[in-house]
Chain A
């Protein structure tokens, strides 16, 4: 069973990468923070008594499910908004949409990057953007395998696909990233 310290150390180690993973997926800082907090609480509440070695895989599974739940809720919310907005006046609808767009841009991660950063910072930013632009399955597989250090089998279990599919997703993700970065003059 993981002790309080082991769980605390694990969460401290994982929280930044988890936040990045969430933000690559949902692209909203506040939502990403909520997702990470939910995943941490679920892990502690339901699996706090599990051995420390099992925590990375359990946390990844919870995180991916929480991200999927977020998208499901967003889909439902968007459908309700579009349903109700169709009953409203034309000018109300327009003002509402504009606010939505402005809020999304201010809260989005990409808005925090500036033009005057150092060259290295710009390169890192480009890399991050390219990771964010990957197809979701490729990004999930790539981040779990190469960033979270999960093996092929664990990644396949979390993603609910075969080990062969994980290898294919990882390979394609790496190839896509390398090609996209090369096109921007970045050679790894």
Chain B
């Protein structure tokens, strides 16, 4: 039997089976109908995927009522994550600057102490001073 002839035979048989299936007794049709109703009453409800959207928690604020407000709140949610990070970066930069400034001040204080010492700086450049020291050691 070739494919075309086979298909024709199959479709004729299909029509015969279809016709036969429409001649079901009333009691069977009722049973099938009640089975269908039972199945539909137990239909699985759609399971929505859990959405992890950051919700800004503002005391006394109702849920967003419009898409525009919803969008604004989503923007606020994103800002809620960015702002603490920015504050941390600025804080660290500030501490670094402060430490640098403190180091400069400490060095300046040491320099000032050296410069304001009893021995004048010009004494180190005076050749007579060496002679005076050598004489003092004697």
Contacts and interface: CB of A to CB of B under 8 A. Distances in A.
Interface in A119-152: 121, 123-125, 127-128, 131, 142, 145-147
Given A8-B36, A44-B44, A171-B6, A16 B24 contact: yes
B9 interface: yes
A40 B40 CA distance: 8
Contacts of A44: 39-40, 42-44
Contacts of B18: 17, 147
B9 A178 contact: yes
A49 B18 CA distance: 29
Nearest to A50: B44
Contact of B47 (A11, A19, A49, A175): A49
Contacts of A125: 20
Nearest to B10: A146
B1 A4 contact: no
B45 interface: yes
B6 A46 contact: no
A188 interface: yes
A104 interface: no
Interface in B1-40: 1, 6, 8-14, 16-25, 28-29, 31-33, 35-36, 38-40
Contacts of B1: 171, 174-175, 178
Contacts of A178: 1, 9
B9 A174 contact: yes
Given A17-B17, A127-B17, 9 more contacts: A8-B36, A11-B39, A16-B22, A36-B32, A37-B31, A37-B39, A44-B43, A47-B44, A124-B20
